Amino acid sequence: MPLERRTYTDPASGVTVTQLTDYKGHSHHFYFTNPGWYDHGRRLLISSDRNNRTNLFGVDLVSGAIEQLTDLEPVPPPRETEFFKACVNPLRDEVYFWHDTRLLALDLVSRQTRMLYEADPAFVVHMTNCSADGAQLYFGMYEDLSSRFRVDLQRGYIGFRETWEAHPLSRVVGVATDGSSSRVVFEERCWIGHVNTSPTDPRCLTFCHEGPWDCVDHRIWGLDTLSGRVWKIRPTTGREVVGHEYWYADGMRLGYHGRNADGKPMLGHIRSDGSAAHETAFPGQTGHIHSHDERLIVGDGGNVIRLWELRDGEYLGPRLLCRHDSAMRIQQTHPHPRISPDGTYVVFSSDRTGYGNVYTVPLRPAETLPPTDT
């Protein structure tokens, strides 16, 4: 297909931004906890709506060439085809995604697809993540309550509070990536979401109790997938809230943001066993955040992609990397910024042109960027 890549200079920061897609339909990269790079980081998996279908595509980050990788029939809500939940195997070029109730594996070299698991249609599936050894896929699933009240979480979080209040039966499920087995690792009557696997420890993952951050009993949980043991990570009291948790690259610590006991915004990190919490108040607003460690954090709050850089124990900033100007009316057009595996650039999505597209922007030293508090 024709190249769609183009570049422009961000008017606020002066940094060159690359737009990877340009089609009259929404395109986006994976959710910020799910890296989509493959071919040794030379290509990036994206979702794109083309010809009235949603499919998986691969973008060559050197040439800009875009290749269609799937040809899937549309599926109506609540199981509509979307790739926020998709993930790649950390040890081989294989991607895993849902199509209706089927969990599929696509070999990105041979282009062969195989089915790994069929979900109970009485449940809605959530985020997938692959274990560090590439042997297991883990995901959350919860009762489909759409017959009881209206649910449309992709467009405006409709039914979000109602689902939390209903305490649906939820499960964390493990499926072998060779398709040989599946098992329920943990279940409870509380809305489970955001299953995230450690990038270095194949038996450790986190999940959250989904719902309004200031209402849930506890947000971040650890789970030992071999013993089934669960434990609380970063308990909150009073006005404290935490969320948007993600693994640091070391696979031992988690980053998050929220509000401290004084109601002020903070950035934090903590070991997965719940020890060694470190939290720092910061200026400016944030949305989703991502980093490889505590030294440089990227966020998408407001209309900009911003950076916080740690200097002498405090965060300098925020500094404006570029504007994203996304309306964020649907999940597909949330920026969800993520730093590349080599730490040289950020990928994000935006509908600044009217349609969702995928962008990359190179990282710059914080002191070379303008400050922002918008």
Q: What's the whole-number mean pLDDT along residues 312-341?
A: 92
Same domain as 122, residue 195: yes
Residues 48-99 have pLDDT tens digits of: 999 999 999 999 999 999 999 999 999 887 778 889 899 999 999 999 999 9
| Rounded Cα–Cα distance for residues 320 and 284 (Å) | 11
Residues 6+ apart with CB under 8 A from 225: 131, 136, 138, 174, 185, 203, 204, 205
Q: What is the pLDDT at residue 10?
A: 98
Q: What is the pLDDT at residue 374?
A: 53
| Rounded Cα–Cα distance for residues 351 and 25 (Å) | 10
Mean pLDDT of the chain: 94
Share of the chain above pLDDT 70, in %: 99
Domain membership of residue 312 as a residue range: 1-24+247-374
Same domain as 122, residue 227: yes
Q: What is the pLDDT at residue 88?
A: 98
The tally of domains found in the chain comes to 2
Q: What's the whole-number mean pLDDT along residues 327-332?
A: 90
Same domain as 329, residue 283: yes
Residues 202-250 have pLDDT tens digits of: 999 999 999 998 999 999 999 999 999 999 999 999 899 999 999 999 9
Is residue 133 one of the residues assigned to a domain?
yes
Q: In what order do the strands lie in the sheet with 289-290?
A: 289-290, 296-299, 304-311, 314-323
pTM: 0.95
Q: What's the whole-number mean pLDDT along residues 337-344?
A: 98
Residues 153-169 have pLDDT tens digits of: 777 778 789 988 999 99
| Rounded Cα–Cα distance for residues 171 and 143 (Å) | 9
| Rounded Cα–Cα distance for residues 374 and 287 (Å) | 12
Tokens of 27: 């395109």
Tokens of 326: 């996304």
Is residue 162 one of the residues assigned to a domain?
yes
DSSP string, 319-353: EEEEE------SGGG----EE-TTSSEEEEEE-TT
Residues 6+ apart with CB under 8 A from 181: 175
- Whether the upstream peptide bond of residue 318 has omega within 30° of 0, thus cis, is yes
**φ, ψ (nearest 5 deg) of residue 115:** -95, 135
Q: What is the pLDDT at residue 282?
A: 78
Same domain as 261, residue 207: no
Is residue 67 one of the residues assigned to a domain?
no
The length of the chain, given as a count of residues: 374
Among 202, 233, 264, residue at a domain's last position: 233
